Amino acid sequence: MDRLKAMQVFVEVADRGSLSAAAVHLDMSRAMVSRYLAEMEQWVGVRLLHRTTRRLSLTPAGAETLPRCRQMLDMVGDLRSAVATPDDTPRGLLRITTSMSFGSRHLASAITDYVKRHPGASVDLMLVDRAVNLVEERVDLAVRITNDLDPNLIARKLAVCRSVVCASPEYLQREGVPARIEDLSLRNCLTHSYFGKSLWRFERDGEPVDVPVSGNISANEVSVLARAALEGAGIAMLPTYYASEYVAAGRLRAILTHCKPQELGIYGIYASRRQMPLILRSMLDFLVERLESTPWDRPAA
């Protein structure tokens, strides 16, 4: 029996929740997947999965075995990479996830330049509006904008995310420019569903100030809020990585600039430092270099 293949099959079945889904991903028959599972259980001497007509679930022994199989497969992958790439050239596939707005604005072009620099590397980029479970969805790297880090994951800071409070010239002419950040409580504010939906945080004269806000448009994607602001719907707090080009073009006007909106970190998040693939380490180094000093905040030449 190919025990490494049996471990791979077991991991895929556990991650995907069915023999059929694992079979499709592994490009083998369902019967062959079932055979590998049976041989894996015979090898370890215990049942690894509860099987019912509707779903599969791990037994306690299966839950203990799964992370060890992942570790073994990672070690084998690292060994093969080390033998295949004696010149320390990043190779293989890296699965990355980030938000729609940051991915389309900055990460897509960064990845394009990375694979040009390293032709042996390939990237599968997943743009989503939710926090992906890295282990369950087999994602190598998540680029997240947050100040709330998961202690069970490893985070490397890539850059700083600053924000700007802004509105279209049309809106400001119609409604007037607020003089104080407290005046935002009386305005139609376009809010993010997951960050600052009802409270915007600022720093004024070195002191933190929280301002309650509300409005008639909320969304879980920055691009939606930016579009609404551009069309004169209200006031938005937008990350500068997305809004800076609109502000520079005069399509949005920055307001209340004497107060600084709360800053967030842009992090590269991954599951483990153990047997870290060269391509992942290389990508993190590349992104730190690429995003150094937050290029979207630099004044236009």
Specify the number of domains making up the chain: 3
Q: Which residues contact 187 (CB under 8 A, 6 or more apart)?
A: 175, 178, 213, 215, 234, 235
Domain of 282 in residue numbering reads as 92-157+278-297
Query: What is residue 15's predicted lDDT score, i.e. its pLDDT?
Result: 83
Helix, strand or coil, per DSSP, at residue 42? helix
Mean pLDDT of the chain: 89
DSSP designation for 64:
H
pLDDT mean over 62-71: 88
Q: Which of 77, 52, 63, 107 is nearest to 295 (CA)?
A: 107
CATH code at 27? 1.10.10.10
pTM over 0.75: no
Query: Do 168 and 243 sit in the same domain of this protein?
Result: yes
Q: Do both 215 and 291 map to the same domain?
A: no
What is the pLDDT at residue 181?
A: 95
Which is higher by pLDDT, 270 or 26?
270
In a domain, 123, yes or no: yes
Residue 103 DSSP label? I
The predicted-structure confidence for 69-111, as pLDDT tens digits, reads as follows 888 887 777 666 555 555 578 888 999 999 999 999 999 999 9
The Cα angle at residue 137 between residues 96 and 140, in degrees rounded to 5: 35
How does residue 299 score in pLDDT terms, banded at 50, 70 and 90?
A: low
pLDDT band at 301 (very low <50, low <70, confident <90, very high): very low
Query: Same domain, yes or no, for 168 and 227?
Result: yes
Per-residue pLDDT band at 165 (split at 50, 70, 90): very high
Does 202 lie in the same domain as 287?
no
